[in-house]
Amino acid sequence: MSICILADIHGRERTMSIACVVFIIGAIVVQAVSYTITAITVGRVVLGYGVGACAEGVLLYVSEIAPAKLRGRIIGIEQMILCFGELFAFWLNYGFNYLETPHWWRIPLAIQVVPAAILAYGHQCAREILARLNGDDAATVQMAATVNEVAFERAVTTATWGDMFKTPVLRVARFGMGVQVFQQITGTNSILYYTPSLFERGGITDPKTANLATGGVGIILFVSAWFPIFFFDRLGRKTKLQIGLIGMMCAMIGITVL
């Protein structure tokens, strides 16, 4: 939630860079080099803030810059890339599990720093992008027009956080928060985090085999993420959400039975 306030103050791109710095601190300075449960827990909390801030910041940024007719597809692509990251992490853990050291798990934690550093440093300012697309002169004109438009909107409109609790914004905000809350409490993140442990409890006693099966889950997750890209705008958000929830419900029932 705090990322929205920071985004209004520092801008979307700079705020994501700040979140990446927090992520790096949690990943390596606090967690990957820790040797106590307390230190690792603190690292997870710091890392969790960085992950949450980046996740919210990216969606906020993409939803604002994406054309309306392509917004669903572009956000679907963002989710597909997210699933690819999880797929990569699953197989990375599987590979490092073969190292003959009890501390192999620290290496994947440290590798998290690489994409976070790229995201923190890799943003281009709007003027650079416009200049590359349309030339320096056109970029100057477009930037001036954008700055004037933003200044005009700020002068003629006033918005406060209190407006979030007034009709009709309250209804939209309540619906959005409700969908997000219920999506989280379905437990899907818990399943992904503890998939190897679930396989072990289900009868796969070899840790390497459990990690291999987890890699298979990552493949299914990545392949499934492609469908919304092509059907998000065609089926509509609500229909796609309902289909996904039915699938999750069936999967949860299966996990419970096993």
Burial of 88 (0-12, 13-18, 19+ CB in 10 A): middle
Dihedral of CA 47/50/54/56: which sign? positive
pLDDT over 80 (residue 67): no
In a domain? residue 92 = no
* Domain span holding position 133: 125-158
> Does some domain include residue 205?
no
Is omega for the bond preceding 168 within 30 degrees of 0, making it cis? yes
Q: Which pair of tokens denotes residue 199?
A: 């396989």
Kindly report, residue by residue over 111-133, the tens digit of the pLDDT. 888 888 888 876 656 666 667 77
3-state class of 121 per DSSP? helix
Residue 93 lies in a domain: no
* Residue 123: per-residue pLDDT: 60
Q: How confident is the model at residue 183 (pLDDT cuts 50, 70, 90)?
A: confident
Q: Which two tokens stand for residue 72?
A: 């669903």
In this predicted structure, which of 33-37, 136-140, 250-254 has the lowest mean pLDDT?
A: 136-140
DSSP annotation of 232 reads H
User: Is 60 among the domain residues?
Assistant: no
CB-based contact 47:31 (threshold 8 Å): yes
Residue recorded with tokens 């190292």: 99
How far, in Å, CA of 23 to CA of 233, rounded? Answer: 33
> Which of these, 120, 111, 137, lies nearest to 27 by C-alpha position?
111
Does residue 232 carry a pLDDT above 80? no
How sure is the predictor about 1, in pLDDT bands with cuts at 50, 70 and 90?
Answer: low
**146 part of a folded domain:** yes
- Give me the numbers of helices (H) and strands (E) for the chain, helices first please: 14, 0
> In total, how many domains does the chain have?
1
The token pair at 226 is 């492609």
Q: Is residue 150 part of a domain?
A: yes
Task: Specify the pLDDT at position 209.
Answer: 86
* CA distances, 258 to each of 23, 190, 200, 212, 214 (Å): 35, 16, 12, 19, 16
pLDDT of residue 39: 82
Give the angle subtended at the CA of 252 by the CAs of 55 and 88, to the nearest 5°: 45
> Quick check: is 97 in a domain?
no
- Own/partner long-range contacts of 74-77 (Cβ < 8 Å, ≥24 apart): 75/232, 76/225, 76/228, 76/229, 76/232, 77/229
